[in-house]
Amino acid sequence: MALSNVVETPASGFNFENVSRNVALEGLLEGGHTKAPKPMKTGTTIAGVVCKDGVVLGADTRATSGEVVADKMCAKIHYISPNMYCCGAGTAADTEKTTDLLSSNLTIFSMNSGRNPRVVMAVNILQDMLFRYRGQIGASLILGGVDCTGNHLYTVGPYGSIDNVPYLAMGSGDLAALGILEDRFKPNMELEEAKELVRDAIHSGIMSDLGSGNNIDICVITKQGVDYIRPYQESEYKDKRQRRYKYRPGTTSILTEKIVPLELEVVQETVQRMDTA
Amino acid sequence: MFAQVYGDNGKMKEYHYSGPVEHRFSPYSFNGGTVLAVAGEDFAIVASDTRLSEGYSIHSRDSPKCYKLTNTTVIGCSGFHGDCLTLTKIIDARLKMYKHSNNKSMTSGAIAAMLSTILYGRRFFPYYVYNIIGGLDEEGKGAVYSFDPVGSYQRDTYKAGGSASAMLQPLLDNQIGFKNMEGVQHLPLNQEKAVQLVKDVFISAAERDVYTGDALRICIVTKEGIKEETVPLRKD
């Protein structure tokens, strides 16, 4: 006999019960001139290039929520496995959770089979999941990695489409970045040249696209290992405010004060020296 | 596939299938930009950024939004650029007509009243413009008049309008109006401190608002005339 407190496994896919509630709320909110909260999108420029020794991935660091910059230093290059990293554009929560899920799955696979995962496997898992959700997960991903079969760069779209290409850009600044990549990409480039190319592509996205900005992150994946340079280049625009805007204590008036003494007895005391060298 | 990513006005579309969609032509478009005006004892400052944008793209990095009307008045207009241009042309023409009929320049207060009637004349197909007039009144004191798109206006000491107005207005309320502060001396604002404050406030707005940036154009109105200053801002 089933116990009454056993949790039911939820039905697969999305639960759309709240859609009608949201529509009703939106109607009420619009009448009161307030808007429903917008999900944070990464409105981004991400790019990837395959070079002679490995794969170079790059991304900007601005996350926008509508027209406001929500995060000036957000990390868009996500860890998948020791030999694979993934850049994500689209809805921030979707890219983070999807790449996290992929990373966990691949770790379990590595432990089960004793092998490093291949890039094609990661791509197939991503494609399978995004297609199953019919585009409701708004994540455009660039997956790059080095495995026993070589250096690979793939893109996975939100509806589940994939593409295997030597150079790539995604996000709202993709057209600007692609212009630079189309102009200067050559097959089998040297590592330093590839890093400069990706940096220039992201920089062009940052300048031309309002959804991208701030700093540039670069991730270099080679057979020897991974070099995650964050930030590769800091934005040259530092805020140079002329006056200092500090407030004296007491500027905010205290209306009431209530002090609750906490009676504690010392049970154990340990001293740890800080290394202030 | 990528052509479907961008909707009508260049913004990225939401990723879900919503059934057949009827596309309607919208006569308006939002070109971004922030305007700010501060009135002092014997001066007025009107400042605006110079970025003209649409969707996620930049049309121009050098399109200031303050326009000189007379020797004692400057207007800042942000919103839909097409309407800003037409509105300033209409105001210029009306100023000329007034000068020819009355043999004197319009005062700031008169320009404000006239603009209110011009805007309300288009009550049912409004000019999509957020206006702020800054200048000197008849006594030589600083005056700021702020408008909504259909002509409602009032005289203020300071006002921010445009895309970053919601971020700037509380900061001005605190620094110029001394709101939400206790035990602080209410020092009157002098011209140098006001200009520094305006520059700092725009630097902050450019950090967090994507539509504000590139450069800042400051017009300082005193009885000697109108002085212009340009300061660079974030370009990303």
Average pLDDT, chain B: 90
Number of Cβ within a 10 Å radius of residue B165:
20
Ramachandran bin of B60, using left for φ above 0, alpha for ψ from -120 to 50, beta for the remaining angles: beta
Inter-chain residue contact A214 with B236, CB threshold 8 Å? yes
Higher pLDDT among residues A24 and B104, named by residue = B104
Any chain B CB within 8 A of the CB of A250?
yes
* Number of separate helices (H) and strands (E) present in chain A: 5, 12
In which band, very low, low, confident or very high, does the pLDDT at A39 lie, cut at 50, 70 and 90?
low
SS3 of B28, please?
A: coil
Output the pLDDT for position A242.
Answer: 81
d(CA A112, CA A93): 29
Contact of A265 with chain B, judged by CB distance below 8 Å, is answered with: no
- Sort out which chain B residues have CB atoms less than 8 A from A209's CB and list them: 56-57
Task: Say what the pLDDT of residue B1 is.
Answer: 40
* B112 touches B153 (CB < 8 A): yes
Q: Could you report the per-residue pLDDT of A118-147, keeping only the tens digit for each?
A: 999 999 999 999 999 988 898 999 999 999
Q: What is the pLDDT of residue A135?
A: 86
Structure token pair of residue A47 = 């790019």
Alpha-carbon separation of residue A144 from A46, A86, A141 (angstroms): 12, 6, 10
Does residue A244 come out as left (phi exceeding 0), alpha (psi in the -120 to 50 range) or beta? beta
**pLDDT at residue A240, rounded to an integer:** 79
Neighbour-count burial for A188-215, b at 16+ CB within 10 Å, e otherwise: ebeeeebbebbbbbbbbbbbbbbbbbbb
> Mean pLDDT, chain A, as a whole number?
87
Q: What share of chain B is helix, strand, coil (3-state, %, to 5)?
A: 30, 30, 40
Q: Which residues on chain A are in Cβ contact (under 8 Å) with B61?
A: none
Instruction: State chain B's maximal CA–CA distance in angstroms.
Output: 63
pLDDT in tens, B92-103: 999 999 999 999
Residue B210 contacts A where some CB pair is shorter than 8 Å: yes
First-last CA distance in chain B: 27
Pick the range with the lowest mean pLDDT from A182-196, A197-211, A259-273, B148-162.
A259-273
B222 pLDDT more than 70: yes
Percent of chain A clearing pLDDT 90 (strictly above): 60
- Please judge whether B209 and A67 are an interchain contact, meaning their C-beta atoms are less than 8 angstroms apart: yes
Give me the count of residues in chain B: 236
Rounded Cα distance between B87 and B192, Å, is 32
> What pLDDT sits at residue B5?
47
Judge: B208–A68 Cβ closer than 8 Å, yes or no.
yes
Pairwise CA distance, residues A130 & A121, whole Å: 14
* Mean pLDDT of all residues in A228-235: 86
Nearest to A251 among B2, B14, B181 (CB): B181
* Of A102, A103, A171, nearest in space to A138 by CA: A171
pLDDT in tens, A71-92: 889 899 999 999 999 999 988 8
Report the chain A residue with the minimal C-alpha distance to residue B175: A245
Task: Give me the residue label for tokens 């509630």.
Answer: A21
**Closest C-alpha among B219, B232, B231, B221 to residue B77:** B219
Rounded Cα distance between A23 and A46, Å, is 34
Residue owning tokens 């320009």? B111
Contact flag B210-A64 (C-beta cutoff 8 Å): yes
Catalytic residues of A: 44
B87: closest CA of chain A, how far (Å): 26
Please say if the pLDDT value at position B4 is more than 70: no
Which residues in chain B have their CB less than 8 angstroms from residue A138's CB?
Answer: 14-15
What region, left, alpha or beta, does residue B33 occupy, with left being phi > 0 and alpha being psi -120 to 50 degrees? left
Query: Token pair for residue A70?
Result: 């929500």
| Greatest Cα pair distance in chain A | 73
Nearest-by-Cβ selection for A172 from B56, B200, B236: B56
pLDDT at A146: 95
Q: Which of residues 31-60 of B touch A (CB under 8 A)?
A: 53, 56-58
How many percent of chain B have pLDDT more than 70? Answer: 91
- A65: chain B residues, CB-CB within 8 Å: none
Listed range (A171-185, A197-211, A241-255) with the worst mean pLDDT: A241-255
Cα–Cα distance for residue pair A223/A13, rounded to 1 Å: 38
> What percent of chain B stands above pLDDT 90?
82
How far is the alpha carbon of B93 from chain A, nearest alpha carbon, in Å?
A: 35
Q: For residue A18, is pLDDT > 80?
A: no
Confidence category of residue B13, pLDDT binned at 50, 70, 90: low
**Which positions in chain A touch B207 (Cβ < 8 Å)?**
69, 72, 239
B105 confidence band (pLDDT: 50, 70, 90): very high
Give the minimum alpha-carbon distance from B186 to chain A in angstroms, rounded to a whole number: 13
Length of chain A: 277
Quick one: pLDDT band at residue B3, thresholds 50, 70, 90? very low
**What pLDDT, in 10s, does the model give residues B19-53?**
666 778 889 999 999 999 999 999 999 999 999 99
Cα of A33 to nearest chain B Cα, Å: 15
pLDDT at A236: 78
Copy the structure tokens of residue B82: 């097409």
Question: Residues A232-247: what's their mean pLDDT?
Answer: 81
Q: Is B208 on the interface with A (CB under 8 A)?
A: yes
Distance from CA of A1 to the nearest CA of B (A): 42
| B chain contacts of residue A252, beta-carbon cutoff 8 Å | 180-182
Give the amino acid at B73. T
Strand, coil or helix: what is A92? helix
Q: Is the pLDDT of residue B197 over 90?
A: yes
Q: Confidence class of residue B228 from pLDDT cuts 50, 70 and 90? A: very high
- Tens digit of pLDDT for each residue in B117-145? 999 999 999 999 999 999 999 999 999 99
Band (B17; pLDDT cuts 50, 70, 90): low
Could you give the CA distance from residue A202 to residue B191 in angstroms, rounded to a whole number? 41
pTM for this predicted structure: 0.80
- Cross-chain Cβ contact A210/B183 below 8 Å: no
